[in-house]
Amino acid sequence: MSQTALLEAAGLHTYYGASHVLRGVDLTIRPGESVGLLGRNGMGKTTTIRSILGLTPPRRGKVTLDGRPVTGAPPHTIARRGVALVPEGRGIFPNLTVRENLTMGARPAPPDSPAEDWALDRVLTLFPPLGERLDTWGNLLSGGQQQMLSMGRALMTNPRLLILDEATEGLAPQVRNEIWSVVRAIKDAGIATLIVDKDLKTMLRVCDHCVILAKGQVVYAGPASALAADPEIHVRFLGI
Amino acid sequence: MDLAQFLVQALNGVQYGLLLFLVASGLTLIFGIMGIINLAHGAFYMIGAYLAYWLVGLTDNLFLAILLGIPIAVAVGLVIERLLIARLYDRDHLDQVLLTYGLILILNETQKILWGSDFHGVPVPEMLAGSVPLTENQAYPVYRLFISAVCLGVAAGMWLVIARTRLGMMIRAGASNREMTSALGINIGRVFAIVFALGVALAAFSGMIGAPVSSVYPGMGDRVLIISFVVVVIGGIGSVKGAFIGALLIGLADTFGRVLVPDFASMVIYALMALVLLWRPQGLFGRAP
Ligand SMILES: Nc1ncnc2c1ncn2[C@@H]1O[C@H](COP(=O)(O)OP(=O)(O)OP(=O)(O)O)[C@@H](O)[C@H]1O
Ligand SMILES: [Mg+2]
């Protein structure tokens, strides 16, 4: 606990117009740590991510990166502090080629960072199918390839925290496994992750820490191993 | 109409269309990418024409006038974008229409204060003042050919920027998904400011280079604005390629309309627009809704 948190969100209250969606969400992610964000449909997982990134700024509460506040900062500033998003629905730019999708947001790692740079070659090594389709328009890829593209694009910004919102949704089982193995590789490369996914079993194996949301509030936060050992919580908050 | 006359009208139509393209391409980019209905866009065309008139008076050289005029127009555009337009990004279209309509009034009035209400002309630069023979008894002014060539060059340059540069990538990405673009660390506000300034520069340039073939007069931007909107709608909102084709169609239709059906000349382009929209409601190159 002595290490400063990479990301700390405290008491987030977020609204869409008049509807009060997040009601005091707390979330901490330490450098290199993998945190799973769980909860049934509509409980506020995506909204938590949007609040952290400044896409839907919280009305109350604060977000800090390395102890420095970023609450109210625009998304591009927060992204440039080392946060990258793989959004629900993948967010591929259809009117950009695969290569352009990958390079448009590319930023080298900060000079003081010990991590190896995620340049195009390295990303293509992680996702070989993309290398064969560099000059294809983004929307012409298969679902699995689009997911790889979205992840590769995020890695090219050399993030310290990668946020994955439903990265395996709508993919065939074999493709899901590939995505999960990439998630593990990203984790092994030392990048912290915030993962939202419906696949509880895999989440419990991949994540270090889990947070469960219900109606915009944190109803469970603890080590993944503790959650794995407590099926009663699965039934109560995840309906499994 | 014999062949020579036809050729003259066709060249006129293309030249007019290409000038329109410079105005309409900015309009379509600003609307397609930033979601802003900019009624003041025609006023930037007028500002360009008056800058040409004023600076040619000072320097006696149209090329120098253009070189000096573009930075002035861009500066005006950037100030307006930062001060006013940037506040409109999250507002609805009614607010945008109200504010940019107010801008037309202010810019038109400023023009009258600075340059008065008289009509003015800008001389064709001497080195381009001649004409080239088309047939034995039909010649065509070199300057008009020069306008067409320069506009084609600018169009090609725009294509290069949009298709081949990092800025172009950001512009396209911002047009398709603003949130995702900013979540990748790109300052979308800055991209918007650049797009707006580029749009202003193009409109003003069109006004400057076109000044020697049309007179310079108060409110000259208003008609250009309306026709540019027709071009944008025909071409498909947000599509630069559409604006290019649309502008050429309108330029030719308007020019030939005046010659062939002079009594209905003012209706021809609107009839063309109606036809295109009946066939393709989203415009020639617009994305289907
Ligand atoms: N743009 C919006 N405007 C209004 N309400 C919204 C908006 N987006 C989400 N909501 C509502 O906010 C609540 C939380 O939504 P959110 O997308 O954060 O849930 P989620 O946990 O990500 O769900 P899912 O598992 O379906 O992705 C839901 O009730 C949803 O209907
Ligand atoms: Mg969601």
The tens digit of pLDDT for each residue in A108-140 reads: 988 877 778 999 999 999 999 999 999 999 999
Q: With beta carbons less than 8 A apart as the criterion, state whether A109 and A156 touch.
A: no
pLDDT in tens, B220-229: 999 999 999 9
With a cut of 50, say whether residue A1 has pLDDT above it: no
Tell me how crowded residue A16 is: count the other CB atoms within 10 A of its CB: 10
What is the H or E stretch that residue B253 is in? Answer: helix B240-260
CB contact under 8 A, B169 and A76: no
Task: Decide whether any atom of ligand 1 lies within 6 Å of the A193 Cβ.
Answer: no
- Judged by a CB distance cut-off of 8 A, whether residue B163 touches chain A is no
Q: With beta carbons less than 8 A apart as the criterion, state whether A71 and A61 touch.
A: yes
Identify the three-state secondary structure at position A77. Answer: helix
Identify the three-state secondary structure at position B132. Answer: strand
Rounded Cα gap, residues A129 and B128, in angstroms:
56
Give distance in angstroms: CA of A134 to centre of ligand 1: 34
Cα dihedral B141→B143→B147→B153 (10° resolution): 110
Instruction: Tell me what pLDDT residue B286 has.
Output: 86
- Judged by a CB distance cut-off of 8 A, whether residue B90 touches chain A is no
Q: What is the mean pLDDT of chain B?
A: 94
Task: Decide whether any atom of ligand 1 lies within 6 Å of the A89 Cβ.
Answer: no
Q: What are φ and ψ of residue B166, in 5° steps?
A: -65, -40
Task: List the beta bridge partners of residue A161.
Answer: A83, A192
Task: Decide whether any atom of ligand 1 lies within 6 Å of the A43 Cβ.
Answer: yes
With a cut of 90, say whether residue A85 has pLDDT above it: yes
Of chain A, the end-to-end C-alpha distance in Å amounts to 32
What is the H or E stretch that residue A29 is in? Answer: strand A19-29
Tracing tokens 């389709």 back to the chain, one arrives at A133
Residues of B in contact with A74 (CB under 8 A): 182, 187, 189
Q: What is the mean pLDDT of chain A?
A: 94
For residue A158, what is the nearest residue in chain B, using CA coordinates? Answer: B184
Tracing tokens 């660390």 back to the chain, one arrives at B185
pLDDT (average), residues B142-163: 96
What length is written for chain A? 240
Burial A100-131 (b: 16+ CB within 10 A, else e): bbbbbbbbebeeeeeeeebebeebbebbeebe
**What residues contact B160, with CB distance under 8 A and at least 6 apart?**
none
Q: How large is the C-alpha radius of gyration of chain B?
A: 19
State the closest ligand 1 atom to the C-alpha of A213, by its place in the atom list counted from 1: 21
Sign of CA dihedral B76, B233, B160, A84: positive
Instruction: Tell me what pLDDT residue B289 has.
Output: 63
Pocket mutation for ligand 1, best pick of A14, A43, A50 (most atoms within 8 Å of C-beta): A43
Q: Which two tokens stand for residue B132?
A: 């080239």
- DSSP annotation of B217 reads -
Instruction: Tell me the ligand closest to A45's alpha carbon.
Output: 1
With a cut of 70, say whether residue A217 has pLDDT above it: yes
Instruction: Tell me what pLDDT residue B4 has.
Output: 87
Rounded Cα gap, residues A143 and B67, in angstroms:
50
Instruction: Tell me what pLDDT residue A73 has.
Output: 96
Residue type, B102: G
Task: List the beta bridge partners of residue A162.
Answer: A84, A193
Instruction: Tell me what pLDDT residue A114 has.
Output: 74
Confidence of residue A233 (pLDDT cuts 50, 70, 90): confident
**What residues contact A58, with CB distance under 8 A and at least 6 apart?**
A12, A13, A14, A22, A51, A71
Identify the three-state secondary structure at position B267. Answer: helix
Among the partner-chain residues A55, A91, A105, the one whose CB lies closest to the CB of B185 is A105
Instruction: Tell me the ligand closest to A48's alpha carbon.
Output: 1
Among the partner-chain residues B166, B170, B183, the one whose CB lies closest to the CB of A85 is B183
Among the partner-chain residues B166, B177, B188, the one whose CB lies closest to the CB of A76 is B188
Q: Whose CA is nearest to atom 31 of ligand 1?
A: A42
What is the H or E stretch that residue A14 is in? Answer: strand A7-16
pLDDT (average), residues B185-192: 95
Q: CB within 5 A of ion ligand 2: which residues?
A: A 45-46
Identify the three-state secondary structure at position A63. Answer: strand
Q: Which spans in chain A are helix H? A: 45-53, 75-80, 98-103, 120-126, 128-131, 143-155, 173-188, 200-206, 224-228, 231-233
Q: Complex ipTM, two decimals?
A: 0.93
Burial B92-103 (b: 16+ CB within 10 A, else e): eeeebeebbeeb
Among the partner-chain residues B180, B185, B188, the one whose CB lies closest to the CB of A91 is B180
CB contact under 8 A, A80 and B188: no
Confidence of residue B135 (pLDDT cuts 50, 70, 90): confident
Rounded Cα gap, residues A15 and A138, in angstroms:
32
For residue B170, what is the nearest residue in chain A, using CA coordinates? Answer: A104
CA distance A92 to chain B (A): 8
With a cut of 90, say whether residue B136 has pLDDT above it: no
Pairing verdict, β A192-196 and A34-38: parallel
